[in-house]
A and B are shown apart, each in its own frame.
Chain A
Amino acid sequence: MRKLNIIIAAAAVLGMAVMPARAQLKLNGAGATFPYVIYSKWFDVYHTKTGIEFNYQSIGSGGGIKQVTEGTVDFGATDGPMSDAQLKEAAEKQGTEVLHIPTVMGAVVATYNLPGYTGDLRLTPDVLAGIFLGDITKWNDPKITEINPGKTLPDVAIIVAHRSDGSGTTYIFTDYLTKVSKAWETKVGKGGSVNWPVGLGQKGNEGVSGIVKQSEGSIGYVELAYAVKNNMPYASLKNKAGNFVKASFDAVSAAAEGALANMPEDFRVSITDAGGKNSYPISGFTWLLVYKSMKDKEKAAALVKFLRWAMTDGQSFARDLYYAPLPAQIVKLVEKKISTIETK
């Protein structure tokens, strides 16, 4: 009998644990690892400010798109925009449109691990594609040494690191490579998850930067913030105008300039391989995926408030974390979009 009482008491306690869930508003989101550095900062600051919890799980853009489609989260995040087919499927399953809300812009950099190599490593689009295609296998390959005159590169094998999960970062990276390399376009193509010719796979931006940090002679593609936060060197890339540019928020903003004129209504646009002499060639927007009409209107209202904050106060955090804030014109357009989200 005593055992039974204990069990009942335990069940009651557990039941009570469910209650507090209503007192504090909590929203669940999942998706891209690309903006995770700034999103985690935003949600932390916003929580201290308003007490509302945005629980974000960085499981990759692919995960974000899937969970938004299945309706298992309140919002998603991706840096590879959803395709028309995916939008259609999500709309059918959830009974409402899914909106892309751009939040910040970031850069995908080629980070590497070459102990003993000092200074800048320069790469051209062809060489970058060659490395990731598996055509260039050693660091002292003439193709690399000729664009880095005066530097000694070791006779070490190149260990390529890429994403093993569905990734918006991969989307941006392969989108760029498809534009600049015919060989890449035919052999691999672009997408959130592609058939990599060579290399080790790991989950998330964290995983790829983890491999590169650990393995000598490795190279991988990650969002700028991850490379900087871990004191990992990254290469400067030759852009369309012919200049070697190192990623920075200014270089990313320069890349976005060209897109301003033709911004599509749903914000799904690619800014890789942009023109302009200071543009960083592998830049991209990152979006939050929100439902136009959520079932829980209280959550919708909270989400809208947060998005408005992200467009104003939130943007001030971007530079410190190595993301580029949205250009003012785009912020205006986004705010108009946010007001279409139904909160009643």
Chain B
Amino acid sequence: MTTNEKLYFFWRKTKNNAMLVFSMACLLVAVTPLVLIFSYTLIQGISALNLDFFIQMPKPVGETGGGMANAIVGTGILIGLGALIGLPVGIMAGIYLAEYGDNPFAAATRFLADVLSGIPSIVVGVVAYIIVVLPMKHFSAFAGGVALAILMIPTVTRTTEEMIRLVPQSYREAGLAIGIPRWKTTLRIILPTALKGITTGILLAIARAAGETAPLLFTALGNRFWSTAIDQPIGSLTVFIYDYSKAPFEDWIRQAWGAAFVLIALIFILSVIFRIVTRSRYAEH
């Protein structure tokens, strides 16, 4: 190599190494906020959590102590309602797309489901207000459930479709070969096989719904009392965090961090489960 060539090669090598360093730096910068947020929430949240937090009801404004028992149950009920409405719709639609989905109608549905998943949750809240709260004439857990269901549907639909498509063709053929009608094959053979993956998709959708605040602001509203009724306003972890975070009361801020920690822990655990299950799924096929 001539000196020029050597120099040029060295220059290319340097660029290569520089880019390696740069991209690694990017990764570190990207991961830093995650670490910061997670650890800050952990530190603030753990110290805030005591038995009271999980068992007690909120105290009057300005008084210390109390907890978020009603909010925790509220979040559970809201997710439950959302799942009750959204899961059947999503799973059935997903089955249709996977089993009968080679036509333009299905393509349009698939496309719109993806588009639906990108709609801001506040917009979904506005729609839920218009179609549920106004006719019912009051805020309710049901309205919140409807909003969450709309948010869950796209994720559940697409995951169900993907998971069913992953089931090998041979299963279908085997079922048909021994004379089982198409629909029974789908329900009794295909679906159970895909169930593990579908369940994790559902868990993901639930994780997303559990963290939602905006759509609940004017559907489920909030409730400082213990309430499990569907036709009444209901408190939720996320709205409580929002209300408490704006206030100057130290004790409220402490509780807000506690609730944030509970949320993050929940989502983290569900994400890990999803990762483990789908990894093994992909490994199998």
> Are A and B in contact, CB atoms below 8 Å, in the complex?
yes
Check B80–A44 contact: CB distance below 8 A: no
Q: A21-B231, A72-B138 are in contact. Are A210 and B225 (CB under 8 A)?
A: no
Is B249 in contact with A229, judged by CB distance below 8 angstroms? Answer: yes
Q: Does A126 contact B (CB under 8 A)?
A: no
Are A55 and B62 neighbours in the complex by a CB distance under 8 Å? no
The reply to whether the CB of A259 lies closer than 8 angstroms to some CB of chain B is no
Return the chain A residue nearest B242 by Cβ.
Answer: A203
- How far apart sit A53 and B245, CA to CA, in the bound complex (Å)? 25
Do residues A28 and B138 form an inter-chain contact, with CB atoms below 8 A?
Answer: yes
CB pair A71–B137 under 8 Å, yes or no, is yes
Tell me whether B248 and A206 are in contact (CB under 8 A): yes
Note all chain B residues with C-beta closer than 8 A to A71: 137-138
Contact status of A26 and B248, CB under 8 A, knowing A37-B61, A40-B61: no
* Chain B 228-253 interface residues, beta-carbon cutoff 8 Å to A: 228-233, 243, 245-249
Partner of A206, one of B60, B134, B138, B246: B246
Q: Which residues of A contact B134 (CB under 8 A)?
A: 70
Distance in Å: Cβ of B218 to nearest Cβ of chain A: 9
Could you tell me if A21 and B229 are in contact, using CB atoms closer than 8 angstroms?
A: yes
CB of A66, distance to nearest CB on chain B (Å): 10
CA distance A18 to B231 in the complex (A): 7
**A176 CB within 8 Å of chain B:** no
Is B133 on the interface with A (CB-CB < 8 A)? yes
Tell me, in angstroms, the Cα distance from A320 to B191 when the chains sit together.
Answer: 63
Q: By the criterion CB–CB under 8 Å, are B60 and A26 in contact? A: no
Question: Quick check: is A11 within 8 A (CB to CB) of the other chain?
Answer: yes
The complex places the Cα of A21 from the Cα of B231 at a distance, in Å, of: 9
Docked Cα-Cα span, A72 to B135, in Å, equals 10
Q: How many residues on B have C-beta within 8 angstroms of the other chain's C-beta atoms?
A: 31
Check B137–A20 contact: CB distance below 8 A: no
Complex alpha-carbon distance, A57 and B225, angstroms = 11
Question: Are A203 and B224 within 8 A (Cβ)?
Answer: no
What does DSSP make chain B's interface, helix, strand, loop or mixed?
loop
**Shortest Cβ distance from residue A328 to the other chain B in the assembled complex, whole angstroms:** 26
Asked if B221 is at the interface (CB within 8 A of a chain A CB), the reply is: yes
Cβ-defined contact, B247 with A207, below 8 A: yes
B185 interfacial by beta-carbon distance below 8 Å: no
Q: Inter-chain contact count A-B, CB under 8 Å?
A: 96
- Among B59, B60, B233, B249, max chain A CB count under 10 A is at B60
A200 to B23, CA, bound (A): 38
Q: Smallest distance from the beta carbon of A34 to chain B beta carbons, Å?
A: 12
Return the contact of B60 from the options A17, A41, A212 (Cβ within 8 A).
Answer: A41
> Which residues from A are CB-within-8-Å of B80?
10, 14
Q: Are A14 and B248 in contact, with the CB atoms below 8 A?
A: no
Shortest Cβ distance from B225 into A: residue: A53
Residues of B within 8 A of A225 (CB): 62
Query: Taking the complex as formed, is A202 at the interface, i.e. its CB lies under 8 A from any CB of chain B?
Result: yes
Bound CA span A57–B247, Å: 14
Chain B residues whose C-beta falls within 8 Å of the C-beta of A20 in the assembled complex: 228-229
B222 touches A (CB below 8 Å): yes
Chain B: CB-nearest residue to A17: B228
Contacts of B269 in A (CB 8 A): none
* B139: interface (CB < 8 Å): yes
Give the residue among B139, B224, B232 with the most A Cβ atoms within 10 A: B224
Q: Give Cα distance in the complex from A232 to B62, angstroms.
A: 13
Q: Which residues of A contact B230 (CB under 8 A)?
A: 14, 17-18
Q: Which residue of B lies closest to A230 (CB)?
A: B248
List which A209-230 residues lie within 8 A (CB) of chain B: 209-210, 212-214, 225-226, 229-230
B227, A40: Cβ atoms closer than 8 Å: no
* Pairs across A and B, CB under 8 Å, 30 listed: A10-B84, A11-B84, A17-B229, A18-B230, A21-B229, A26-B225, A28-B232, A30-B221, A36-B61, A37-B62, A41-B60, A41-B61, A43-B224, A55-B223, A55-B224, A55-B227, A57-B223, A57-B233, A70-B134, A70-B137, A71-B137, A72-B139, A73-B139, A204-B247, A206-B243, A207-B247, A210-B245, A210-B248, A212-B248, A229-B62
Q: Which 3 pairs between the two chains have the least Cβ-Cβ distance?
A: A206-B247, A21-B229, A207-B246
Residue ranges of B at the interface with A (Cβ–Cβ < 8 Å) = 59-62, 77, 80-81, 84, 133-134, 137-139, 221-225, 227-233, 243, 245-249
